[in-house]
Amino acid sequence: MPKLDSYLFREFAQSTFAAFVVLMIVSLGGVFADVLGDIARGRVPAGLMLSQLGLQVLNYLPLILPLGLMLGLLLAVGRLYRDSEMPVLVATGVGPRRLLRPLMLLVLPVVGFIGACSLWLGPWANDYSQRMVAEGNRNLLLAGLEAGRFVELPGGGGVVYVGAMSGEGSALGRVFVYRQDEERMDVTTARSGLLTVDGAERYLDLGEGFRVEGPLADTLDYRMMRYRRNELRLPDAETRPADGNPEFDSTLALLGDSRPEARAQLHYRIAPPLLALAFALLAVPLARSPPRQARYGRIALGFLAYVVGMNFMLLGTKWLADGVIPLGLGLWWLVLPLLAVGTWLYLRDGHVGVPRRRRSAEVAR
């Protein structure tokens, strides 16, 4: 690799990596808040917080990485102009088009990784996350139940206290369960318990205990019974439906699915790598700036282009699923014009037009 290409590639890669790190730190806070919200609503067991956080980050990478690539190139090329390195390169015959080779050395691998995340890693993470949550909600140990501590059941359906627990989390000892339904409460105690699963429903099979049922108001309408064996159905956790949802299907499965929702999801996965390539081409002409121009003005313009492009991608996906636009049109109406504009602006960057007086003289001749 020539020294100039090596130098430019290093500059592009360092700025892009720094932009990626900053965006990942900012995005991690938002993803963490979403996961905590799902835990609070009972959708996700508390023991799966870290694994869900990592899987959700993989799912959001196709939306984060194009912005990081664009901002990194804007910063790198803008620094070349501010430090007068680009005018020196142009004076030696190295114009903006000569930047294409070191630029593609960085952009093509990043676009390929974005495509892998969008077409394979993201759907796999989404599906694996849903299966982990479904399995975790079937296991009280993963749902956060610990011996010697009061724990709220998923979905806020009650409180459970267990004095002892087996290693796998199914056999329980000295069980206390408090449940509340509208205006009545139910308190159940048991010497032992066993967690059983029937399909998607979970039950506590309790043995040797008492059950007290009564109103929450100041009345004496209480009933108490002693039992040898009692079966309590645990409340269902609030989960997102996965059956028939194309978000949880693989890309290969979407290719053979003719439903509008599936076709919309397929175009939603194809668009991010192409948009990333368009934003990368736009970054070079957008970064051109005179020495005394505001430093971050072009960055704000590039960020605005990213916001508009991504919002139209999300809106277009919804329009496809709702039948507002034809399925054959897909998201090509957004991706192809952006690629064409980015390519045209890149090729026009640094082009010097013929002065008007000289052009008039040539016409007169």
In sign, the C-alpha dihedral spanning 272, 273, 275, 276 is positive
CA atoms within 13 A on the CB side of 118: 23
CA dist., res. 128 & res. 135, Å (int): 11
Contact criterion met (CB below 8 Å) for 266 and 254: yes
Q: What is the pLDDT of residues 136-178, one digit of tens each?
A: 766 654 455 677 878 776 555 678 888 888 776 667 888 888 8
Q: What is the pLDDT of residues 63-95, one digit of tens each?
A: 999 999 999 999 988 888 887 787 787 777 776
Q: Tell me the range of 45-59, 220-234, 319-333 where mean pLDDT is highest.
A: 319-333
DSSP conformation letters of 89-125:
HHHTT--GGGGHHHHHHHHHHHHHHHHHIIIIIHHHH
Instruction: Quote the distance between the C-alpha of residue 316 and its chain's center.
Output: 18
Residue 214 has a pLDDT of: 85
CA dist., res. 313 & res. 271, Å (int): 8
To the nearest whole percent, how much of the chain has pLDDT over 70?
82
Q: What is the pLDDT of residues 10-68, one digit of tens each?
A: 999 999 999 999 999 998 888 898 888 877 666 777 778 888 888 989 989 999 999 99
- Nearest CA to 180 out of 224, 212, 147 is that of 212
CA dist., res. 342 & res. 338, Å (int): 6
Residue 293 has a pLDDT of: 63
Predicted model pTM: 0.74
Residue 266 has a pLDDT of: 92
Q: Please give the C-alpha separations between residue 175 and each of 72, 169, 196, 203, in angstroms, as whole numbers.
A: 57, 13, 15, 13
Mean pLDDT (the chain) is 82
Least confident of 92-106, 225-239, 306-320: 225-239
pLDDT mean over 118-147: 76
